[in-house]
Amino acid sequence: MLARTADNLFWLSRYVERAESLARILDVALRLATLPSAYAGSSNEWESAIDTAACSQAFYAAYPIANEKNVTEFIIAGETNPSSIRRCIENARHNARAVRTAITTEVWEILNDAWNQLQRIKLKNMNGQELTRFLSFVKEVSLRFDGTAYRTMLRTDHYWFQRLGMFIERSDNTARLLDVKYHVLLPEQEPVGGGLDYFQWSALLRSLSALNSYHLIYREGIKPWLVADFLILRSEQPRSLISTYKNLNEVLDLLSERYGRQGPSQRLVRSTFADLQNVDTDRLFQQGLHEFLVAFLGENNRLGMAISEQYLQ
């Protein structure tokens, strides 16, 4: 397969996954913004949304303050935001167009439809209902893309590079979401169980479609260390770091089998996956969740670059 094609496939699904994550970030913020401050705390949801989306620099260059109007506008279609939802969908479609031969017609149609629809949607000054509808639309695009790729693409390197992009992006998003929330919520060992963090954590879980599954797994109230456990270490949870790394590990193994050669990305993924398997939740909290997540984000980034050097150039 052409290295450029692999690169396009990798980025195509990264952009789709990113669009979905951004929609989920806005979801959390909107949900919390509806709560009275006694429940939601004094922290600014919109600032934290900008932090999670990792675009504070570009945002504050364009707007003086983080409020609902500015943040939604910027994340959805900010002119100076290279990673807005609109740009992500455009870039995904652009990458797909460059590799039409490598994806199925069905996958192409999802992205092309999404792009066509995007041209018709008014992206500025949305009212609440329009905003909710738009965010569902974005999440649906990602779900349909994912499901269609799963159901229609041949299990060859085309499919695997597409999956790699998705899991790298998803790991990044889960870690970031958790990091920003944790930072905002638990600067000190605050007493747990009050209304404030309950709503914060449940909004986070809900936006990851993980609230019900949390209850299924733990059968108790929402506790920050359990949420961290759930999103980092539980392989039952498909967005957890350990799940995405299990998948990355498998896909990179399949590639090395197919090509009959291993490289730095196989070594890196194995070591990060092994680290995750050996993490102990208590130690995680003692050593600092933030430090752990920052280190993880660095590893994940290095893996992305190793994949790029090994296969995509």
Partner 1 sequence: MAAFDEMRGHDDAVRPVYRDIAEWFEAAPQELITSRKAEAEAFFRRIGITFAVYGDEQGAERIIPFDILPRVITSGEWARLAEGLEQRVRAINAFIGDVYGAREVVKAGIVPEDLILANPAFRPEMTRIKPPKDIYAHIAGIDMVRTGPDEFFVLEDNARTPSGVSYMLENREAMLRLFPELLGRQKIKPVDQYPEELLATLRSVAPPTAPGEPTVVVLTPGPYNSAYYEHSFLADRMGVELVEGPDLFVRGNVVYMRTTEGPKRVDVIYRRVDDEYLDPLTFRPDSTLGVPGLMSAYKARNVTITNAVGTGVADDKAIYSYMPDIVRFFTGKDAMLKNIETYRCREPKMLSHVLANIGELVVKEVNGSGGYGMLVGPHATKAQREAFALKVKANPDNYIAQPTLALSTVPCFVEEGLAPRHVDLRPFVLSGSDKVRIVPGGLTRVALKKGSLVVNSSQGGGTKDTWVVDADSSAGTA
On whether the CB atoms of residues 175 and 300 are closer than 8 A, the answer is: yes
Q: Which two tokens stand for residue 247?
A: 């998948």
**Of residues 35, 39, 106, 109, which one binds partner 1 by CB under 8 A?**
109
69 sits near partner 1 (criterion: CB under 8 A): no
Up-side HSE of residue 267: CA atoms within 13 Å toward CB?
6
94 sits near partner 1 (criterion: CB under 8 A): yes
13-52 residues in contact with partner 1 (CB under 8 A) are none
Q: Could you give the CA distance from residue 16 to residue 22 in angstroms, rounded to a whole number?
A: 10
262 sits near partner 1 (criterion: CB under 8 A): no
Q: Which residue has the tokens 């990091």?
A: 179
On whether the CB atoms of residues 92 and 16 are closer than 8 A, the answer is: yes
12 sits near partner 1 (criterion: CB under 8 A): no
Q: Which residue has the tokens 């290095």?
A: 302
**Of residues 20, 45, 157, 169, which one binds partner 1 by CB under 8 A?**
157
Q: What is the closest distance, in whole angstroms, from the C-beta atom of residue 3 to partner 1 in the complex?
A: 5
256 sits near partner 1 (criterion: CB under 8 A): no
105 sits near partner 1 (criterion: CB under 8 A): yes
196 sits near partner 1 (criterion: CB under 8 A): no
Nearer to partner 1, 84 or 173 (CB): 84
What residue type is assigned to position 138 of the chain? V
On whether the CB atoms of residues 45 and 201 are closer than 8 A, the answer is: no
CA geometry: angle 185, 189, 193, nearest 5 deg: 65
Q: Which residue has the tokens 């000054």?
A: 125
Q: What is the closest distance, in whole angstroms, from the C-beta atom of residue 103 to partner 1 in the complex?
A: 9
Q: Residue 240 region, left (φ>0) first, then alpha (ψ -120 to 50), else beta?
A: beta
Q: What is the closest distance, in whole angstroms, from the C-beta atom of residue 160 to partner 1 in the complex?
A: 10
Q: What is the closest distance, in whole angstroms, from the C-beta atom of residue 33 to partner 1 in the complex?
A: 33
3 sits near partner 1 (criterion: CB under 8 A): yes
Task: Give the range of 15-23, 101-109, 235-243, 268-276 binding partner 1 by CB under 8 A.
Answer: 101-109
Nearer to partner 1, 42 or 313 (CB): 313
Q: Which residues contact 147 (CB under 8 A, 6 or more apart)?
A: none
Task: Give the range of 111-119, 131-139, 163-171, 204-212 binding partner 1 by CB under 8 A.
Answer: 111-119
Task: Give the range of 112-120, 187-195, 230-238, 283-291 binding partner 1 by CB under 8 A.
Answer: 112-120
Q: Where are the alpha helices (DSSP H) in 78-189?
A: 85-98, 105-120, 128-152, 157-185
Q: Which residues contact 310 (CB under 8 A, 6 or more apart)?
A: 263, 264, 265
**Of residues 97, 183, 246, 290, which one binds partner 1 by CB under 8 A?**
97
**Of residues 79, 113, 236, 309, which one binds partner 1 by CB under 8 A?**
113
The site for partner 1 (CB under 8 A) is made up of: 1-6, 90, 94, 97-101, 105, 108-109, 112-113, 116, 119, 157, 161, 255, 259, 261, 311-313
